[in-house]
Amino acid sequence: MTENSFFPPGKLLFFSILSTIFFIPIYNSLTSICIGFSVFFLILTLFLDRSVNRPLSAKIPLILFFIFCVLSIFNTTNLPITLKGLKKLALYVLLYFSVIKSLHDEKRIKGFVFILVFSAAIVSVDGLYQLMQGKDWFSGRALMSYPQLDIKRITSSFHQAGSLGIYIGLVLPLALSLFLFYSSRLTKWLLGISICLMLPVLILTYAPGAALGLYAAIIIMAICKRKWWLVALLLVGLIFGFFLLPESLTSWPHGGFFTSIAGRINMWKTALKIIQVHPFIGSGLHSFSINYENFCLPGQPHCGAGAPYAHNMYLQMAAEIGLLGLGVFIWILAFTFKKLFNIFKSASSTSFMKALSLGLTAGMAAYLTHGILESSIYTSQGALLFWTMLGLSHGLISLMTLQKIKV
């Protein structure tokens, strides 16, 4: 059965994916419903629609990653929590496959990217509304207030300002790459407006990881395109940021940014202790908070109150699924970056594909850089965003492979 038939499972899968990425930052309940439809239509498409046979780009490392997550069961301190983590991971992987299966041509990829940027722009408008009104429009969430630092952080529809920073920090470089290196006049205007909305919201999250991620993304784009004026723009931004941000954040050594990083380093010491106990296959998927309570010392951040995350996704991953699992995760990332860069360099790629591959590289780099200071992939929306964008990246790689473009 093909997509031109009366019942087009491939089209329904694609629209369910578009709905999923639109609602990821807005409503968790609607996101869950859309993911359910995506998985259902994925299964239906695999049985009924043989028109598009997509090669799986990273089959071996993905299988190994899932295996190491399963193996962590043997050392877990809380089996129900680890089983719940495996259930979530299985859902993320199915979403990843759904994205790949739904993106079989350039038109669909453009539609995917449009909805992604459009949703980020709406969330940014909501964040600016929250700044002016005190509460966001979607969920009625108040600004995160820090009286001791004299700041209020934008969260928009997210629970935490850091989560909003993770989301905008990934989408913004993608929009910036398309704005600078590919777009018609109308598209350039739309992308420019979206960027102008996202940038101040990213800044007003006051998330140091988001800033570091954006710097990394801009440096990558500058090197790949040899646009050194981007580096100059980055330096200007650093200088202005130093003078415009509140002194309560930037003063050395007691500014909020520096004390926050010092607190994170203190948490990382405990994470390293957990890794030492079971270095190879970890201490159980999603069990970090329990193990942190068992190993932390009085006076360390969140000790006795529960630390849900390590504020470093690499240390948390190593603690939960071991150094071998972390190594496989890095293998997946290395594969993805290599293939995206090959698409960027390929003379056969369209200008859109080149700009998209560069934007995905920069956006994923921003996400991973942010992960040094946050457990990006361990928040619900952060995980959904990662696996969706990985699916987009591997869908692009698969499409180029089908078109006989060497990647």
Question: Tokens in use for 288?
Answer: 């970090």
Query: What share of the chain has pLDDT > 70, as a percent?
Result: 94
**Residue 46: per-residue pLDDT:** 84
In our burial notation (b when 16+ CB lie closer than 10 A, e otherwise), range 83-108 reads eebbeebebbbbbbbbbbbbbbeeeb
The model's pLDDT over 152-170, given as tens digits with 9 standing for 90+, comes to 999 999 999 999 999 999 9
Q: What is the rounded distance in angstroms from the CA atom of residue 293 to the CA atom of residue 6?
A: 56
The DSSP secondary structure of 233-276, one letter per residue, reads HHHHHHHHHHHHS-HHHHSTTTSHHHHHHHHHHHHHHHHHHHHH
Ramachandran category for residue 405: left, alpha or beta (phi over 0 → left; psi -120 to 50 → alpha): beta
Euclidean distance between CA atoms 399 and 395, whole angstroms:
6
Per-residue model confidence (pLDDT) at position 347: 64
Q: Which residues of the chain have pLDDT under 70?
A: 1-7, 49-57, 307, 347-349, 404-407
Q: What is the pLDDT of residue 1?
A: 43
Nearest-CA neighbor of 366 among 180, 198, 240?
198
Q: Where are the domains of the chain?
A: 9-402
What span, in angstroms and rounded, lies between the C-alpha atoms of 236 and 388?
A: 33
Predicted pLDDT at 2: 46
Q: Which two tokens stand for residue 115?
A: 């909805």
